[in-house]
Every structure is written in C-alpha cells, then in structure tokens.
Amino acid sequence: MEVEFGTLSPRRFSQVRDFLLRQGLQPPAEPPGFTVVLREGETVTATGSLEGNVLSHIAVDPRNQGEGLCAQVVSRLVAHAAGQGIFHLLLCTKPENDALFGAAGFYPVARTAHMLLMENVREGAARFAASLPHPGAGEEAGAIVANCNPFTRGHRHLAEQAARACGFVYFFVLSEDRSFFSTRDRLAMARENLRDLPQVRVCETGPYMVSQATFPTYFLKDRARAGEESMELDLTVFAQCFAKPLGIRRRFVGQEPLCPVTAAYNHAMKTLLPPMGVEVVEIPRLAAEGGPISASRVRALVQAGQWGALTPLVTEGTARYLREEWKHGGK
C-alpha cells in the first residue's frame, strides 16, 4: 500500500474524485489544500482531506474496510493539522459512522437524520457554551447570528429590536475567517456598534455555527448548492448546544430579499427551530437609497472606493472603523 499526501496533482485529484463519487460522496470542486491518498498501484483504497480545522471527504473502499485504513488517513490529517498549530478538529459524516470516527478520538456534537457533527475534544461544544456570558436566573435570552461583513445599519436595527424584546441578547459573530473583512475586524465593528446596548453581548460562534464544519456552502462563491441537510445540522447545533444550555428562546433574523441561500436558511430556521424550542422572529429589512441595506452592497461601495455613498447604509461606528482602523489588506 502506498501513501501519498499533500496537494494533489490534477491526475491524482481526478482519480480521487472518481473514487469519492463511487462511494456516494460529493467530491470537492477543487483539490483541497491537504489530502491523504492510500493506494495499491493506481487504485485508490482510501482518502481524506483537511480544510482548515475540518476533516472532509474521508472514504475507504468497502473491499478494504476493517483494515484500519480510516485510522491511517485520520492520523495523517491530525498530524498535518498539528504541524499547522490546529488541534481542535471537526468533521461531518453520516450518523452510521459514529463508531468509526469515535475510535479515532472524535466525539459527537450533534446529529440529524442524515448528518453527524463530531469534534476531537470531549465536551468541546458544551465547554464552549459554558465559557460564554450567561443570562440571569429566569431571564429569557434572544440570539442573533451574523457575519457582519461589515456591520451595517441593518445589524444595528436587528440588535435594537432584539434588545427591546429580551433582557439578554447574544449577538454571535461568525468566527470562520473566510470573508472579505477579517474576523478581528468584524468582531471589533460589532463591539463598537453595540457598546451602548447593555443587554447585548457580542460573542464568537466558535467552529459551531455557520462554520466550515456545519455549513461549508455558506462560504462558497457558488452558493447555489447550499444543502438543506447542512442547514438542518447547523440549526440543530444551535438549538442543542447553544439555545438549550444558554436559555435562548428566540432567534432574531433579518428578512432576506436578495440572497437565495440566506433566504433558504431563514426558511429552514422558521421550519426547524420552533419544534426545538426556539421561536424565530423575522424583522423586516431596513431600506435606504432605493433598496434593502445589505453588507454586500456596502462591500461593493468599499471596493469601488465610494466612501461618501456609505453613510445611509452603515452606522457612524462602522464608517469610523473603516476610515481609521481597517487595514486595506482586504482581498
């Protein structure tokens, strides 16, 4: 058995893609940064990839199952991640693979009928939730989950509405650093813009909500393929690992007139969260200058250097941040 790892050559990548398709898995569109391939000659017997802190596209030929190939692949991926200083890893798999990855040191985070999210830290999600600020006893909490790429008047409006309805509001900013504005910048903008609302606590999502692990398609350029199964997993993680232990009873969300993926996600929220004990409150989008305010509109203006046109869309806090703090190192 030969072992190969790194970034795959186009020929090897096409073999791995065919192999994944034969195993009934959706292959990645492009070669991931790091892939492990086990093969006998030119025949792939097992593979797996690492994308940031997520193990993905792991498969073993059914004829070779029970030979410990999965452990070999996972070990290589974990060692490579360690070399990059990444120790907290997640993976998403079919629920029936529970024991297989359990044997490789992964623990379940949350599961749906079709998907299982696992991480290599025991009680990782529970410990993460416990590390967040908590509402007082008997106090009902609300939550907002937003990328804030960048923070707009729309985000501010949403937070104000939530703060009016709940004594304690979690304002989760996505931790995944794959957006135009860095996670550091997005968090700083949210904090600056919400400082005067004492009920609102700005928190990070960690790797658990709308992340590469739970909702990979959110970050793709071509977001048409955003899977309903991912949305269900993401919302289940929110309900079980966050809403339940933190006493979150309501999730506030802005109406989505533009982006089809976000609109589908909102729809999934309204269908799936209430049965899990979370009411969904959809707030109409603020409009300005003849259209709904959106972060993508703001980005287009920033990229075109039309700073003057930003005023109706962003708060004074964001405008100041973009002027004074933001390094134009953006992509």
Partner 1 sequence: MNVTTTAVAGTMESSDVMVTMAPREGGIAIDLDSTVEKQFGRAIRAAILEELDKLGIASAEVRVVDKGALECVIRARVKACAYRACQCEAYQWG
Contacts with partner 1 by CB under 8 A lie at 68, 71-72, 74-76, 78-79, 82, 85, 87, 103-105, 122
How far is Cα 153 from Cα 295, in angstroms, rounded to an integer? 9
> Which residue lies nearer to partner 1 by CB, 66 or 305?
66
Q: How far is the CB of 239 from partner 1 (least distance, A)?
A: 27
Helices (H), 103-215: 124-130, 153-165, 183-194
Q: How far is the CB of 100 from partner 1 (least distance, A)?
A: 11
> Which residue lies nearer to partner 1 by CB, 68 or 277?
68
How far is Cα 176 from Cα 186, in angstroms, rounded to an integer? 11
Q: How far is the CB of 240 from partner 1 (least distance, A)?
A: 23
Q: Token pair for residue 74? A: 């996972």
Give the relative orientation of helices 183-194 and 153-165 as an angle to the nearest 10 degrees: 50
How far is Cα 8 from Cα 132, in angstroms, rounded to an integer? 40
How far is Cα 285 from Cα 306, in angstroms, rounded to an integer? 23
Across the beta sheet with 43-51, the strand order is 2-6, 34-40, 43-51, 54-60, 90-93, 116-119, 107-111
Q: How far is the CB of 135 from partner 1 (least distance, A)?
A: 29
> Which residue lies nearer to partner 1 by CB, 79 or 300?
79
In the chain, DSSP assigns E strands to: 2-6, 34-40, 43-51, 54-60, 90-93, 107-111, 116-119, 141-146, 168-173, 200-204, 248-254, 279-283
Q: How far is the CB of 63 from partner 1 (least distance, A)?
A: 19
> Which residue lies nearer to partner 1 by CB, 45 or 152?
45
Q: How far is the CB of 42 from partner 1 (least distance, A)?
A: 24
> Which residue lies nearer to partner 1 by CB, 93 or 149?
93
Q: Which residues of 223-256 are buried (b: 16+ CB within 10 A; e: fewer)?
A: eeebeeebbbbbbbbbbbbbbeebbbebbbbbeb
Q: How far is the CB of 49 from partner 1 (least distance, A)?
A: 17
> Which residue lies nearer to partner 1 by CB, 45 or 193?
45
> Which residue lies nearer to partner 1 by CB, 54 or 74?
74
